[in-house]
Structure 1
């Protein structure tokens, strides 16, 4: 094979890696924001995609609502669906599918962790082993998180929050953006946040101030 013959292949390999990294980041954000898809979308866009199916197989999926899940499952190597006991799993035609957050799995988290350990499945991002956090009663009644007050954080780390769904504030004098923020449901206090949103908010701030 001539020297130039391998270049298109190397280029495609780089494109695949770039696409995979981009999609993994989108999958994690979808879990954090509790994005849902129809059964047809799940089959067409994820299981049916020659690249994404390899990422899909390394995650735990669930059906249900933002307040909880009805059931959870994984996509096996042969692209069939299996429950936490490795039994056959069937999606209802009208089910809504999302990437399970550990808070949604509850007591089932330990079982899924054991399954993935047994099969030596390496997850594309922290899902089953994800750190979870909770607001205190005082914080729920407040509109301010004082636990992070007074901590100096490098600008680069703050701007890195954009990869986690945070947004930059509007440009002020000389175009300087003085803050970043994360959109949340309209509520005067943190009591209006669901458990997953609250946990992810605290996780982001805990890691950026570490």
Structure 2
């Protein structure tokens, strides 16, 4: 085993006086900071990559990284095949955790809550904005199911391309009824900021009311030990 290269997490940290009264403005700011950093330095690829952890009915956890393609007052969101591993897990157990992580910036955000399906209208709007190949791929891939070969997948893609040729329109491929979005209705949002000697800052918004991520009356903040 190669020697471990150790890094000192010399980040800016995070203090209570830097926090807004609700989590959404800081989530949006940190995401935009990551996008800006990627544009300037190129060391934060896929700044909206989010790890999503689910658990099946037996309690077995599963985690994977997807793209956060939605962020609003109701929570962060992602899209998937409802029959995928994550989709089946969420049908059996809607409790979910997710994390955005930006190592070069010594920052991370952790979300804990319950996943709810987005409306078909919202899913359709996003689906229509995807590239043609991604829309065809949503039909061709039986996500998380066993596959005989790569050729099988490519044959399925070709068949759907013949069925729905690329016309340059957002409507040339219909929305699959087994595909759509989830939004995480958060009960907890943690902001992690790396500090030297592993003495990191962890400031956590905890839900105290029924409001959304922008509601200043729905949250309290606690600091946790690193």
TM-score range, shorter chain: under 0.3
Structure holding more strand per residue: 2
TM-score, length-scaled by structure 1? 0.24
Structure holding more helix per residue: 1
TM-score, length-scaled by structure 2? 0.23
Using CA pairs below 8 Å that are at least 6 residues apart, which structure has the higher relative contact order? 2
